[in-house]
Structure 1
Amino acid sequence: MHEKFVLVNGAAMTMEHVVRVARFMERVKISRKCMKKMKLSREYVEMLLREKRVVYGLTTGFGKFSDTYISPEDAKRMQLNLIRSHACGIGKPLSVEAVRATMLLRINALSLGYSGIRPEVVQLLAEMLNAGVTPVIPEQGSLGASGDLAPLAHLSLVLVGEGEAYYLNERLPGSEAMAKAGIQPIALEAKEGLALINGTQVMTGIGALACFDAINLSRWADCAAALTAEALRGIRDAFDPLTHAIRPHLGQGQSAENIRRLTLGSQLMTSQGQMRVQDAYSIRCAPQVHGASRDALRYIREKLEIEMNAATDNPLIFAAEDRVISGGNFHGQPIALAMDHLSICAAELANISERRTERLVNPHLNEQLPPFLAKDGGVQSGFMIAQYTAAAAVSENKSLAHPASVDSIPSSGNQEDHVSMGTIAARKASQIVRSAYSVLAIELMCAAQAADFRGPELLGKGTKWIYDRCREQVSFVDEDRVLSNDIRIVADWMRNTDVSEELASVTPIK
C-alpha cells in the first residue's frame, strides 16, 4: 500500500507521485529538512535587504526593468503588483488535475531552498492542495521561457486572496474559496512574488500526466495490435525473438515479446506461408513502430523527472556560498523538446492503430470478415464511420504534432529574446494523448467485433482476457447503434486501467 501522503523533499518526486496527488487527491507533506533549508535561504534574503545589495527581483525591477532600483519600502508592493500584472492568461481553464500537478511541483521546487521564499508561503500552497482549493488558471499565455509566468501568476493570486479557485466542485472568488476551506491568505514579502511565478511547473505538470498516460497507451497499443493480428489471421513469425534480437532496440523487443505472450495459444494466428508470406506493415511492423515510441517515452520520462526535482527560479539564492546568481534555469527548452517528442510518439501510436482499423473494416483487406464488421451489411453500416472518426482524429493529431519548440517570439523589450513555447508543446501533447486513446479504443472495439465473428474461444490466453474485459465495457454490435458513447467508455476504461498490472496474473507484459 502507498503511504497516506506524498512527502515533498525536493529531490525524489516521480511521475507516479504527481499522478497520486493530481488525479487521486493524495495529501502532501513537506519534509523538515526542506523547511529548514527554506528558512536559511529566507534569512539570507532578509540580510541582503538590510544591506541594500543590488539583487535582481529583490532590489530591482523585473525583465527590462532589471536596472531599475527598488527601495525596501516598495519591495512588498512590487511583489503584489508583479502577481497582478502577470495574471493575464486567456482561454479556457486548465483541468483541475493539471493545476494540482503544477501546485505539487511548485512546492517541490521551492522546497529545495534556492528561491528565498518564506517556508510559510510554501506551506500555504500545501494546505491549499490538501484542502482541495484549486486556482483557476487560463490555459494560454505562457511563452515557457521566464518560467510559466502568466499561469503561475493566476495560481499565486489565490494565495493572496484574489483570483478564482475551485472548491468542492464550485468555481468561486479566490478569497471565498479560501474562507470556505478555512485557510487564511498571506501577504507577500520581498522576492516572494517572483519566487512563486518563475518556474516551469505548468508545462512539467501537464507533461508528467500526459507522459504517464502515454506509457500506459503504449502497452494498450500492443494489446490492440495483438487482438487485431489474430482477427486478421496474422503471421506469428514476425514477432519471433530471432528477428528482434539482431536489431536490439529495447522498446522493439518489449513490444514484440508482449504480442507473442498475448497471442500464446491462439488458434487464429498463422505461420509464414500458411495463408500468405507477409502481413501488411501495420501488423508486421507493430513492434518496430510501437517500440520506437516506447524508447522515446523513456527519454521523456527522464527529462520530466529531472525537471520535477530542479530549482527553476531566478535569481537563485546560494546562502551557504553568500551568492545570488541570475541565470536561466527557468527556460523551458528541455521540456519543450520532450513535449514535442511526446506529441510525435502518441500520434504515431494512433496513426498505426488507425491503419489496423482500416484493415479490419475494409472487405478487400480483412480476410473474409463481414464488410465493416456489420452483421447485416447494407442494412447496417457497422464500424464504417468509426474508422472515419479514427482517421479524422489522427489527421488532427498530425497538425497538432507540429513542434512548438521551433518557434520563438522575443518579449520584454527583447531582453527575453529566445523562448521555448514549452507550455504550448505540453498542452498539445496532452491533447494528442487523449485523442490517441479514442483511436486505440476504436481499434479495440473493431478487433473485439472481429473476434466475435472468428470465435473468441480461438483467441490466445492474453487476447482472450483483453476481449473479455472489452466486452464487459461494451457489447457486440448486433444492430447499428450510436457508437460515440461506446468509444468514450472504452477510451476512459483504457486510460484508467494499468493494463500491465491487470494482465499480470494472466500473462506479464512490459
Structure 2
Amino acid sequence: MNDLHYISSEILDIQKINEIISKNVKLALSDEAKVNIEKCRNYLDEKLQSQQEPIYGINTGFGSLYNVKINRSHLSTLQENLVMSHACGTGDVVPQEVVKLMLLLKIQSLSYGYSGVQLNTVQRLIDFFNDDILPVVYQQGSLGASGDLAPLAHLTLPLLGKGEVYYKNEVVKTNEVLKAKKWAPVSLKSKEGLAMLNGTQFMSAYGVYILIKAYKLSYLADVIGAISLEAFDGRKEPFSHLIHDIRPHRGQSLTASRILSLLEGSQIINQPKKHVQDPYSFRCMPQVHGATKDTLKFARTTFKTEINGVTDNPNIFVNEDEIISGGNFHGQPLALALDYLSIALAELGNISERRIFQLVSGLRELPNFLVNDPGLNSGFMIPQYTAASIVSQNKQLATPASVDSIVSSNGQEDHVSMGANAATKCFRILENVERILAIELFNASQALFFRTPLKSSGFLQNFVDDFRNEVSFVEQDRILHDDIEKAIRFLKCCTVADEDCFMI
C-alpha cells in the first residue's frame, strides 16, 4: 500500500479508513479536491461582494440569532467568536484514536466543495493529521443536531492557535506547537467557523472506530464461543448448513459456517456425546452472533453514507448559484444506527456471560468453578460475577439515546438526535464486551484443559496455546484480576486478518 492517501471523491469505507489509521498513512489533497475547495471559496467571496441580503451563518448571527445582520468588516471576527464561544465541552477527553478519525472525516467532508472553506484551512487540518497533532476534545457537550458543535469547536481551536493538543505524547498549548513548527494561526474567513462546527464528525468518528473494533470482536466472539463449546463438550449438529439454509439470515449462516470451520479436525467435537442437546448459549450462537453481524452490516452502510457526505450548513452550490440552509448536520441516522449497534454488541456480551456461567456450574464432568479442590479454592466463581456485573451495566447503557430530545437555542433547535450520547454509550459497551469476551476466554481455556488428552482443532488449540503464553493455567487460587487484565490485553493485541474481520 502507498504511504500517501489522496483525499478525493473516492468512496471511503471503514476498511479503507482502518488501513489509513493502522498503517499511519499520510494524507494529501488531490487536484480534484483542491479545485472543488477553491472554486467554492471564490464563489462565496464574489457572492458577498455582490449581494446585500442576509445569508445565514455567513453574514448573520447563529441559531436563534439568525435575524441579526453582521457588518462585512466583522465577518472574520464572527467566525472566530463562534469557535471560541462554542468550545464548551466537558467531561472525559475523547481518545486520541477517535480525534484522529474526526480530523480525517472533517477533511473528507470539506473536500467536496460545498462548504466555502479556504484551501489553507483544509491543508492545516491535514498537517495536524500527518504530524499527529491531535486537538484535545471532550466527550460531553453535543446534542447531535446542529452538528457536533462543542466537540468540533475544540477540534477547531488549534487552527486559531488556541486550545490544547496532544503532541509527542504530551498535552501542550497549541500556540507552543505552532511556534515550534513556524506555522501562523489560520485566519478564518466568512462561513469557515460554521463549516468546521456544523457536521457530524464526532458521532461519525466514534461510529467508525466502534465498527472497526466491533468487526474484530464479532470474529473473536465466534472463536471464543467455539472454544467454550469444545470445553463444554458441545455438539456440532446445530451448526449444520441444513438448519441455516431454511432460515437464511446472512449473519446466522456465516456464523454457523465459521464455527464449523474452526472446529474442523477436533477430537473433542467428534467424540460420542452423552447429551442430546446443548443450552441456547451454545446451540444458538449462529442465531445470536449472526444477528449482531447483520446489525454491523446495517450500521456500516449507514456510516459509509455519512462519511462520504457533506454535513455542514449552509451548503453552497456553485453551479446552481444557490446557498441553501438545510439540516444535513442532524445526526438522527447515526443516533439510530448507534443505538441499534449498542444493543447488538451488548447481546454478544450477554450470551458470552451465559456460556461462562455454564462452564463454572460443574456440568459435563467439569469440576465446580473449574478448579481442583473446589471449596478450598473458589476458582472461577467470581470472574463470572464480574462478567455478570458488566453485562448488566451494558443493558443499562443500551437504553436508546435516539428516542430523547431537548429544546435548545431558544426553540430554534427544537428537535435533536442525541447521537453524541449514543456514540459515547456505544463506545463504553464496546469496551465492556471486550472485557466479557476476555473473561470467557480465560474460563474456556481453563475448562478445555480438563478435556485432556483429547485435543481441539489445530486452529483453536494454537489460539489457546498463544493465550497460555500470557495467562497460565490456574492450579490454585491467586489474584485473578491480574489474569483478567492480561486476557484483555491479549484480545487487544490479537491480530485478525481483514478477510476474516470485514467479510460480513
Distance in structure 2 (CA, Å) of the matches to 1:189 and 1:428? 36
Instruction: Indicate how the Cα distance of structure 1 residues 456 and 206 shifts in structure 2: closer, same or farther if over 3 A, else same.
Output: farther
Choose from 425, 428, 434 the match for 1:431: 428
Is 1:486 the counterpart of 2:483? The answer is yes
Preserved contact between residue 258 and residue 509 of structure 1 (Cα < 8 Å) = no
Preserved contact between residue 22 and residue 98 of structure 1 (Cα < 8 Å) = no
For residue 334 of structure 1, what is the aligned residue in structure 2?
Answer: 333
For residue 253 of structure 1, what is the aligned residue in structure 2?
Answer: 253
Distance in structure 1 (CA, Å) of the matches to 2:470 and 2:133? 34
Uncovered stretches (5+) of structure 2, i.e. residues with no partner: none
Instruction: Indicate how the Cα distance of structure 1 residues 151 and 336 shifts in structure 2: closer, same or farther if over 3 A, else same.
Output: same
User: What is the deviation of 1:305?
Assistant: 1.1
Preserved contact between residue 21 and residue 101 of structure 1 (Cα < 8 Å) = no
Preserved contact between residue 345 and residue 429 of structure 2 (Cα < 8 Å) = yes
For residue 192 of structure 1, what is the aligned residue in structure 2?
Answer: 192
Preserved contact between residue 223 and residue 463 of structure 1 (Cα < 8 Å) = yes
User: What is the deviation of 1:509?
Assistant: 8.8
Correspondences of 1:204-353 after superposition (within 5 Å): 204-269=204-269, 274-353=273-352
Instruction: Indicate how the Cα distance of structure 1 residues 24 and 92 shifts in structure 2: closer, same or farther if over 3 A, else same.
Output: farther
Q: Cα deviation per residue 1:100-129 (whole Å; 9 max; x = unaligned)?
A: 110110000000110000111000000011
For residue 441 of structure 1, what is the aligned residue in structure 2?
Answer: 438
Structure 1 residue matching 2:166: 3-state secondary structure: strand
For residue 421 of structure 1, what is the aligned residue in structure 2?
Answer: 418
User: What is the deviation of 1:180?
Assistant: 3.1
> In structure 1, what residue type is equivalent to 2:311?
T
User: What is the deviation of 1:502?
Assistant: 9.7
User: What is the deviation of 1:339?
Assistant: 0.5
> In structure 1, what residue type is equivalent to 2:390?
A
Distance in structure 2 (CA, Å) of the matches to 1:323 and 1:468? 63
Q: Cα deviation per residue 1:440-460 (whole Å; 9 max; x = unaligned)?
A: 111111111111111275212
Q: Cα deviation per residue 1:136-172 (whole Å; 9 max; x = unaligned)?
A: 1111000000100000001111110011111111111
Preserved contact between residue 41 and residue 113 of structure 1 (Cα < 8 Å) = yes
Structure 1 residue matching 2:42: 3-state secondary structure: helix
Instruction: Indicate how the Cα distance of structure 1 residues 333 and 361 shifts in structure 2: closer, same or farther if over 3 A, else same.
Output: same
> In structure 1, what residue type is equivalent to 2:461?
K
Bigger drift between 389-398 and 371-380 goes to: 371-380
Distance in structure 2 (CA, Å) of the matches to 1:468 and 1:456? 15
Preserved contact between residue 289 and residue 348 of structure 2 (Cα < 8 Å) = yes
> In structure 2, what residue type is equivalent to 1:220?
L
Q: TM-score, normalised by structure 2?
A: 0.96
Preserved contact between residue 149 and residue 198 of structure 1 (Cα < 8 Å) = yes
For residue 102 of structure 2, what is the aligned residue in structure 1?
Answer: 102
Bigger drift between 378-387 and 117-126 goes to: 378-387
Choose from 378, 388, 392 the match for 2:389: 392
Is 1:466 the counterpart of 2:448? The answer is no
Distance in structure 1 (CA, Å) of the matches to 2:33 and 2:488? 40
User: What is the deviation of 1:485?
Assistant: 2.9
Is 1:6 the counterpart of 2:5? The answer is yes
Structure 2 residue matching 1:458: 3-state secondary structure: coil
Preserved contact between residue 300 and residue 342 of structure 1 (Cα < 8 Å) = yes
Distance in structure 2 (CA, Å) of the matches to 1:292 and 1:49? 52
Bigger drift between 83-92 and 484-493 goes to: 484-493
Q: Cα deviation per residue 1:285-314 (whole Å; 9 max; x = unaligned)?
A: 011000000001001011111111100010
Distance in structure 2 (CA, Å) of the matches to 1:181 and 1:445? 48
Correspondences of 1:352-391 after superposition (within 5 Å): 352-363=351-362, 366-391=363-388
User: What is the deviation of 1:267?
Assistant: 1.9
Instruction: Indicate how the Cα distance of structure 1 residues 420 and 354 shifts in structure 2: closer, same or farther if over 3 A, else same.
Output: same
Preserved contact between residue 238 and residue 284 of structure 1 (Cα < 8 Å) = yes
Distance in structure 2 (CA, Å) of the matches to 1:26 and 1:482? 41
> In structure 1, what residue type is equivalent to 2:357?
E
Preserved contact between residue 29 and residue 126 of structure 1 (Cα < 8 Å) = yes
Q: Cα deviation per residue 1:84-104 (whole Å; 9 max; x = unaligned)?
A: 110011101111111111011
Distance in structure 2 (CA, Å) of the matches to 1:136 and 1:354? 36
Q: TM-score, normalised by structure 1?
A: 0.95
Distance in structure 2 (CA, Å) of the matches to 1:502 and 1:444? 23
Structure 1 residue matching 2:338: 3-state secondary structure: helix
Is 1:146 the counterpart of 2:143? The answer is no
Distance in structure 1 (CA, Å) of the matches to 2:391 and 2:105? 32
> In structure 2, what residue type is equivalent to 1:48?
K
Distance in structure 2 (CA, Å) of the matches to 1:178 and 1:484? 44
Q: Cα deviation per residue 1:22-53 (whole Å; 9 max; x = unaligned)?
A: 45533211211101100000001101110134
> In structure 2, what residue type is equivalent to 1:380?
N
Provide the aligned length of Structure 1 versus Structure 2: 503
Structure 2 residue matching 1:215: 3-state secondary structure: helix
For residue 129 of structure 1, what is the aligned residue in structure 2?
Answer: 129
Instruction: Indicate how the Cα distance of structure 1 residues 22 and 92 shifts in structure 2: closer, same or farther if over 3 A, else same.
Output: farther
For residue 30 of structure 2, what is the aligned residue in structure 1?
Answer: 31
Preserved contact between residue 58 and residue 190 of structure 1 (Cα < 8 Å) = yes
User: What is the deviation of 1:213?
Assistant: 0.7
Bigger drift between 397-406 and 48-57 goes to: 48-57
Instruction: Indicate how the Cα distance of structure 1 residues 95 and 331 shifts in structure 2: closer, same or farther if over 3 A, else same.
Output: same
Instruction: Indicate how the Cα distance of structure 1 residues 500 and 453 shifts in structure 2: closer, same or farther if over 3 A, else same.
Output: farther
- C-alpha RMSD over aligned residues: 1.8
Distance in structure 2 (CA, Å) of the matches to 1:472 and 1:337? 41
Uncovered stretches (5+) of structure 1, i.e. residues with no partner: none
Preserved contact between residue 500 and residue 509 of structure 1 (Cα < 8 Å) = no
> In structure 1, what residue type is equivalent to 2:158?
V
Distance in structure 1 (CA, Å) of the matches to 2:79 and 2:458? 62
